[in-house]
Amino acid sequence: MLLSIALFVAAGVFGIHSYRYRFVKTNEDLFRFLPNTGYTTFYCDVEALRRSGMLRLLTGTKAAQESEYREFVRQTQFDYSRDLNAVAGATDGQRSYLLVTGEFSWDRLRQYTTANRGACDRAVCSLPANRDGRWISFVSIQPDVLGVALSSDRWAASTFTTAQRPLGQPVPVFPIWVRVSHQVLEHPEGLPLALKIFAISLQSAERVVLSLGPGRNENQPIELRLDAAFRNNAAAETVRAQFEAQTQMLKTELSRQHAVASTGDLTGLLTAGRFQASGTQLVGRWPVRDQLLKTLE
C-alpha cells in the first residue's frame, strides 16, 4: 500500500515538473518560436473550428479524398481532421515556419520520411517539397508540438530553439487570423487586382489583421473581418472612404459588363463589404457565403 502511494505521489510530482518545463503551454506560446519582424504571421485554432462544425465547412472533403493524403494517414496515423489542434505560422513568401500542435507519433513520422525519399538526423527530418528545390523539414519541440519549415534549406527546422522570444504584439483572439506584413502591403504585385487595390490603401496602416470567424447572425454563419490601426483619426477615415469608393467602383464595373457579383467567387465577397472607422481603428466586414466555400474546396 505504501509503495503504491509513493509511486502515485512520484508520478504526480513528475507530471507537474514536466508541465512546468514544457515550452508550449498555451497557443500564444507558439509565437515565441517564430520570427516576428518582416513576416506575415497567421494562426488557426483547428480544435475550436472542429468543435463548432466550421472545420468541415471550411475544408470540405477534398483533401481526405486524395490518394496521397490517404497514404500519409495510413503510414503516420495522423489525420488533420481528428488529430490537429492548432497551427501558428510566419512567412515572407520564400520561407515559411509553422508550429503545429496535436497528437503525433514521432516514430511514425520518421518512418514515413525515410520511406518517401527523405532523411532524418538525430533531431530533424526533411522531405523534398516539390520540384523547385524546397524542402519540408520538421522537428519535435515537445510530444504534442512540431516545428515545421518550408525552405530551400533542407534542415531549416533546426533553427527552432527553446529560447523564448518576446511577443512583438498581442495575439488576436479570432479562431483564424492573418497579421499582414508591411512587405506584402508595399509590394502587392502577386495579389489579384481587386485585392491589390485594397492592399495599396492599407499601406499607411500601422497594423493590419484579417480574421475569419462566426458571423453576427444565423443568416451569415462566417465573416471575414479586417482590423486596421492608423496613426490618427483622419488616416482611418480616409481609408474607410477609399474602401467605400473602391467597393462602389467594383459594383459599377460589373454593371458596365452586364454582370452580377457572384456569391461563389471573389466579386461577391468584395462587393458585400461594410466599413466603419472609429478613432484610429478601421473595421471592415465581408460575409462569406456557402457558395464561395464550395468553390474553394
User: Nine-digit cell at 218?
Assistant: 444565423
Determine how β-strand 274-278 pairs with β-strand 281-288: antiparallel
Tens of pLDDT, residue by residue, the chain (297 residues): 333 333 333 333 333 233 333 578 877 788 888 887 789 999 999 998 888 777 776 666 555 567 888 899 999 999 998 999 999 999 998 899 999 999 999 999 999 999 999 999 878 999 998 767 899 999 999 999 999 999 999 999 998 865 556 666 777 888 899 999 998 999 888 777 767 888 999 999 999 999 988 777 666 668 899 999 999 999 999 999 999 999 998 888 877 776 666 666 777 788 889 999 999 999 999 988 776 666 555
Per-residue pLDDT at 14: 31
What confidence score (pLDDT) does residue 295 get? 58
How many other CB atoms are found less than 10 A from the CB of residue 91?
Answer: 19
| DSSP code of residue 142 | E
CA distances 203 to 116, 186, 194, Å, are 43, 6, 15
Q: H or E segment at 284?
A: strand 281-288
Q: Are 139 and 133 contacting, i.e. CB atoms less than 8 angstroms apart? A: no
Cα separation, 193 vs 200, whole angstroms: 11
What is the residue extent of each domain of the chain? 26-159, 180-296
For the chain, the maximum distance between any two Cα atoms, rounded to a whole number of angstroms, is 85
User: Which pTM value belongs to this model?
Assistant: 0.81
Do residues 204 and 282 lie in contact, with contact meaning Cβ atoms separated by under 8 Å? no
Residue 244: CB partners within 8 Å, gap ≥ 6?
A: 275
150: which strand partners? 96, 136
- Condensed to tens digits (0 to 9), the pLDDT of residues 202-254 reads 999 999 999 988 777 666 668 899 999 999 999 999 999 999 999 998 888 87
What stretches of 96-213 show up as alpha helix (H) in DSSP? 106-115, 182-186, 193-201
pLDDT for res 63? 56
Predicted pLDDT at 97: 95
Residue in the block written with cell 510530444: 143
| Backbone angles phi and psi of 44, in degrees to 5 | -140, 120
> What pLDDT, on the 0 to 100 scale, is given for residue 13?
31
Residue count of the chain, please give it.
Answer: 297
**Contact yes or no for 248/272 (Cβ under 8 A):** no
For 192, 234, 287, the CA distances from 273, given in Å and listed in that order, are 17, 21, 8
